[in-house]
Amino acid sequence: MDVAEALRERCTCRAFLPRAVSVELLERLLETANRAPSGGNTQPWHLYVLTGKHLQALTEAVIKHFGSGTMSPLEYKVYPSKGDLPDDLHKAYMSRRIKVAQDMWDLMGVQREDQAARAKALVENFRFWGAPVGMVVTVDRGGDKNAWGHTGMFLQSLALLAVQYGLATAMLEAWGNLGSCVYDTLNIAMDREVVWCGVALGYADPGSKLSTMPTERRPLGELCRFQGFEKSKL
């Protein structure tokens, strides 16, 4: 498999087989992904990698916290609010977010106006969508925005390598902003690290459309401005 193939094949997997991932494969995957670059080679990411009863304990703690309805103070904004962006951009973000959520709910048989069913769908994130391996990714708290970008380099490397090894992933920002619950359960020093996201990892369930839900991308002309290329049509 070449890199372009892995890029095209990778997608967010929301249905996994109950098949274990060997620790040898997992270590190979993580060691290779850890070759990801970072500004100044600072490597600001940390991973808490769980399976079996440890994964179950974390999931149970988070579902209990979520079910209690306790509103945790936001550690950071996951999405910009109206007013943070020019109106046209905010509208574009919203329409993309709604599209991906709607496509997902359609596959799950969830009606948009059914709040209880939507909450149940959200809880699937805390079950890592049934994956046998769940990871919590943190960034050094004192790091600036750049550190989050560097961590993104690591995460995409991980996702592409997973494809090469026949595995599937889902990045899950639903794991952020859950108050002290994740920190306490995993014994993460809250003054040093900030929880960014979860990662589900395992073998995709080929029998579920949730394992390969297609998504669109903006055309190149919307994101690139080419200069000095005589033959560019954009």
Ligand X SMILES: Cc1cc2nc3c(=O)[nH]c(=O)nc-3n(C[C@H](O)[C@H](O)[C@H](O)COP(=O)(O)O)c2cc1C
Residues interacting with ligand X, by CB under 6 A?
Answer: 11-12, 100, 125, 170-174, 197, 215
Least separation in angstroms between residue 229's CB and ligand X is 28
Cα four-point dihedral sign 211, 93, 225, 159: negative
CB neighbours of 207 closer than 8 A, spacing ≥ 6? Answer: 15
What span, in angstroms and rounded, lies between the C-alpha atoms of 131 and 182?
18
CA 111-112-113 angle, 5° bins: 95
Residue 104 belongs to what H/E stretch?
helix 87-108
Minimum CB distance to ligand X smaller for 34 or for 232: 34
Q: Kindly state the smallest distance separating residue 145's Cβ from ligand X, in Å.
A: 14
- For residue 231, the minimal CB distance to ligand X (Å) is 30
Spatial separation of the C-alpha atoms in residues 75 and 62, rounded to whole Å = 17
Tokens of 120: 């149940």
- Cβ proximity to ligand X, 175 vs 183, nearer residue: 175
Q: Of 14 and 21, which CB lies nearer to ligand X in the complex structure?
A: 14
SS3 (DSSP) at 21? coil
> 14 vs 26, which CB is nearer to ligand X?
14
Q: How far is the CB of 86 from ligand X (least distance, A)?
A: 22
Q: Are 141 and 29 in contact (CB under 8 A)?
A: no
Structure-token pair, residue 71: 């509103």
What DSSP state is assigned to residue 81? Answer: P
Q: Give whichever of 129 and 183 is closer to ligand X, judged by the CB atom.
A: 129
> Which structure tokens are listed for 70?
């306790």
Q: How far apart are CB 70 and ligand X at their closest, in Å?
A: 19
**C-beta of 111: minimal distance to ligand X in Å?**
18
Residue whose CB is less far from ligand X, 96 or 141? 96
